[in-house]
Structure 1
Amino acid sequence: MTSETMTVEDVRTSEPSRVRDYVALTKPRISVMVLATVAAAGYLAAMVGPVSPWDVLHACLGTLLIAASGSALNQAIERWLDARMSRTSNRPLPSNRLSLNEVVTFGTICFCVGTVYLWTTLGTLSAALGVGTWVLYVWIYTPMKTRTWTNTIVGAVAGAMPVLIGWYATGAPTHAWIVSVFLLLFLWQFPHFMAIAWLYRKEYAEGGMKMLPVVDPSGYWSGIEAVVTAVALVPVVAIPAWLLDGPVRWVYLVIALVLTGLYLSASWRFLLERSETTARRLLRVSLLHLPFTLLAMILATLFSYSLPS
């Protein structure tokens, strides 16, 4: 009787734990950021034409499912590498809390449901963009991580593509707004990636991942990449100022340039002194730069009384 009671209790207590493990497979913090960028792109699409909130919601839900699939299958492919690194060894798969079959099944279901959902609610283009993002992330970026330091370029493209789903889900035409947001997302990732890769360079090396700080232990080229891409962000964040009207354009421009200036400053300090302190500072600034730049962009549109098409 005691044995049976223990078994029932074990089952009861294990279910919430398994749910948490499945949630962990989706990398929730990354998923939240993806949702935010999709929603922001959908909102900004209203600047060039009518937008249905339902289309934006459909884009968010479908993209969330595909992102969850990508994260899960990424962990399935990298399970042996994750097991070697203390930062990732406690993930559900390397810690044996979930089996490979469970993770692959979960990832496959999320991908299929997400793709069909985007296709039936928004059409072929949105579904194709979702599939393209998934292929880039799972089948190109993930294998490249153990082969070449240029993997971050492909990873940055995949990371920026969800904004295209959010934009084109509304039926909006290609416009300077989406070009600027895509470039913002693409370039922002490089200093962010370099900070993380530098902080965990020893673990990446143990896991066999050829990140730039692993290939170049001095960190010099990691710093160069961070600075060059941060400099490239300056004209990119300025583009929306010319799409806005009235005094608010100058308010936005000042805010965007200050935020990007701080990002560039943190990148420059990292280049001059490659240390844990400067890398962590760069990482913190990166996590502030993107959301506040997008927020400034969105708030500026609320106060701008006319926008060119």
Structure 2
Amino acid sequence: MRPGAGPISTLQDYWELVKPEITFQVVLAALAGFILGTTGSPSPALLVLTLAGTAFASAGGGVLNHYIERHNDALMRRTAQRPLPSGRINPGIALVFGIILVAAGLTLLWWVNLTTLLLAALTIVLYLFAYTPLKRRTTYNTLIGTIPGALPALGGYTAATGTVGPAGWILFGMFALWQIPHFLALAWMYRKDYARGGHAMLPAKNPEAKATAHRILVYSVLLLGTSLLLPLLDYTGWIYLAIIIPAGIGFIWPSVGFHQKQTATQARRVLLASIIYVPILVAAITADHWLL
């Protein structure tokens, strides 16, 4: 920690380490899975255990990711001022902090059920030891990263049901597909920085922007198609359908714009649409569950 750092700034640094934006998205994914898998009124205690355990495990994984990538982060303008590469927090302390958070999260999920615990553990292992190192080796890292990125949704479903079911796998597929345009838009916006940091992101490795734009559009369309499987197979009703179709079109629209014209403005629109999509999805599943 830097000399003279005050308690407020130190707390802000630790808060940054847990990757709050990603942790929030992960918790939303788990909530979507839990509500989708719930029959009748959910158990408040089970829901709290599931979301708290997921949050702690995700936060711990974020801290450990900061620890693993601290040297590469120092090479990128966007990440050079993070707590570890800037020297504001000691790497050893961050390592212990991350392990404690993961342990706390997995302990809470142990009280949920074994399947959910194992899915959370698998998520952390794949995130730290598959996706993270592959970011510097292959442009397929984004595709591989969709697995740990989508598992929390499946974990939320198993928390409610105790088992993996078709509806859970459909939701898993939705979150996997959602991540591709989300991260490709972000990677395109910071492609030079990613290249400087040695990351093998498609926009950094492939100078042809159309390749990135094509994938963003294809996966946005696939997301809408996959989202329709839930009502088609009678896992959700018309309220979900009435919400998710406009949300899907709202995601595809900026993807079409980026496909036509690859600019920072269009990429930001794709990114914003992806960020908005997840809470809308959760709201659609929740409203459908409670109102039908």
What code does the residue aligned with 2:252 have?
L
- Is the Cα contact below 8 Å between 2:75 and 2:197 reproduced in 1? yes
Q: Which of 106, 130, 134 matches 1:140? A: 130
Instruction: State the 1:293 CA deviation.
Output: 2.5
**Runs of 5+ unmatched residues, structure 2:** none
* Residue 95 in structure 1 maps to residue 86 in structure 2: yes
After superposition, residues 24-103 of structure 1 pair within 5 angstroms as 24-47=16-39, 51-103=42-94
After superposition, residues 146-225 of structure 1 pair within 5 angstroms as 146-225=136-215
Instruction: State the 1:172 CA deviation.
Output: 4.0
Instruction: State the 1:210 CA deviation.
Output: 0.6
The answer to which structure, 1 or 2, has the higher relative contact order (CA under 8 A, 6+ apart) is 2
How big is each residue's C-alpha offset from its partner over 1:54-100, in whole Å with a ceiling of 9 and x where there is no partner?
A: 12211111111111111111111111111111211111001100011
Instruction: State the 1:13 CA deviation.
Output: 6.4
**What secondary structure sits across from 1:24 in the alignment?**
helix
* Residue 14 in structure 1 maps to residue 6 in structure 2: yes
- Is the Cα contact below 8 Å between 1:240 and 1:297 reproduced in 2? no
Which residue does the alignment assign to 1:307?
none
* Residue 115 in structure 1 maps to residue 103 in structure 2: no
Instruction: State the 1:180 CA deviation.
Output: 2.4
How big is each residue's C-alpha offset from its partner over 1:116-171, in whole Å with a ceiling of 9 and x where there is no partner?
A: 3322x123222211110000101110000000010111211111111122111223
Aligned residues: 291
* Residue 255 in structure 1 maps to residue 240 in structure 2: no
Following TM superposition, the consecutive aligned residue runs of length 4 or more in structure 1 with deviations greater than 6 angstroms are: 10-13
**What secondary structure sits across from 1:38 in the alignment?**
helix
Instruction: State the 1:179 CA deviation.
Output: 2.3
Alpha-carbon distance between aligned partners in 2 of 1:161 and 1:60, rounded to the nearest angstrom:
14
**Runs of 5+ unmatched residues, structure 1:** 1-9, 305-309
State percent identity of aligned pairs: 34
Instruction: Return the index of the structure with the highest Cα Rg.
Output: 1
Which residue does the alignment assign to 1:5?
none
1:39–1:255 CA distance, 2 compared to 1 (3 A): closer
TM-score relative to the length of structure 2: 0.92
Alpha-carbon distance between aligned partners in 2 of 1:229 and 1:162, rounded to the nearest angstrom:
20
- Is the Cα contact below 8 Å between 1:45 and 1:172 reproduced in 2? no
Query: Pairwise CA RMSD of aligned residues?
Result: 2.1
What code does the residue aligned with 2:258 have?
F
Instruction: State the 1:235 CA deviation.
Output: 2.1
- Is the Cα contact below 8 Å between 1:45 and 1:51 reproduced in 2? no
Alpha-carbon distance between aligned partners in 2 of 1:191 and 1:134, rounded to the nearest angstrom:
22
What code does the residue aligned with 2:204 have?
V
Q: Which of 277, 281, 285 matches 2:265? A: 277
